């Protein structure tokens, strides 16, 4: 495992193929990936999972599994994905939760861990593109300290761009993100310490 972030109630970690049952269950609920109109079949969930695992193994970006410590169940996903926007190449924080786990602060907790990770890596800024009629997602962004910075059309729908400046100087991220080899991170971020001592990656 290359990335593992620990929070009081959650573990945010790389997905594995063994997460398919939990992921398929989460994505089968139409309210979760509400922008996908057709049923989110198990096969589609498998392809989605494969893509996220590929991103993590590639440049280190991509959503990670949000695991409930108490039960070891995957209850959602959260992570940073590169987006080519009018403002340039930006990192977007995305999050979603199993419908049964809304209203308990888990998305905020997982999102905060991802932002802290980005801050540790020395990243400059993170955005979230949020559909203008998605108040729950906006509330998460607000709780994370993000502020609205205008509207844009994204995936054919009106979205608001939320952003947080993290204060780092490293924005282009050509070398990757979450999954950077430790040496690559250490060369950029003074005082960097891995979250879990002894792990291979970040």
Q: Which residue sits closest to ligand COA, CB atoms considered?
A: 105
Nearer to ligand COA, 55 or 130 (CB): 130
CA dihedral 134, 148, 61, 5 (to 10 degrees): -80
Site string for ligand COA, 37-76 (x = CB under 6 A): ----------------------------------------
Is residue 149 a contact partner of residue 163, using CB atoms and an 8 Å limit? yes
- The CB-side HSE value for 139 (13 A sphere, CA atoms) comes to 10
Nearer to ligand COA, 27 or 202 (CB): 27
- d(C-alpha 202, C-alpha 182), whole Å: 6
Number of helical H runs and strand E runs in the chain: 5, 8
Contact between 104 and ligand COA by CB under 6 A: the answer reads yes
Nearer to ligand COA, 95 or 178 (CB): 95
User: Which residues bind to ligand COA, rule: CB under 6 A?
Assistant: 32, 94-97, 102-108, 130, 134, 136-137, 139-140
């Amino acid at each position: 495992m290359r990335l593992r972030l620990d929070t009081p109630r959650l573990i945010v970690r790389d997905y594995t193929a063994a997460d398919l049952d939990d992921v398929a269950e989460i994505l089968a609920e139409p309210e979760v990936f509400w922008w996908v109109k057709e049923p989110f079949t198990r096969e589609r969930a498998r392809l989605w999972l494969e893509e996220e695992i590929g991103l993590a193994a590639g440049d280190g970006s991509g959503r990670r599994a949000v695991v409930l410590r108490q039960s070891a169940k995957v209850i959602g996903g959260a992570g940073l994905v590169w987006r080519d926007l009018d403002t340039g190449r930006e990192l977007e924080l995305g999050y979603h939760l199993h419908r049964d786990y809304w209203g308990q602060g888990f998305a905020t907790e997982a999102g905060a861990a991802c932002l802290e990770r980005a801050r540790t890596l020395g990243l400059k800024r993170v955005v979230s593109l949020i559909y203008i009629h998605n108040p729950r997602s906006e509330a998460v962004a607000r709780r994370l300290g993000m502020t609205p910075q205008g509207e844009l059309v994204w995936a054919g729908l009106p979205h608001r761009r939320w952003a947080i400046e993290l204060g780092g100087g490293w924005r282009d991220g050509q070398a990757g993100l979450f999954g950077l080899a430790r040496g690559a991170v250490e060369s950029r971020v003074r005082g960097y310490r891995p979250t879990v001592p002894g792990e291979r990656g970040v």
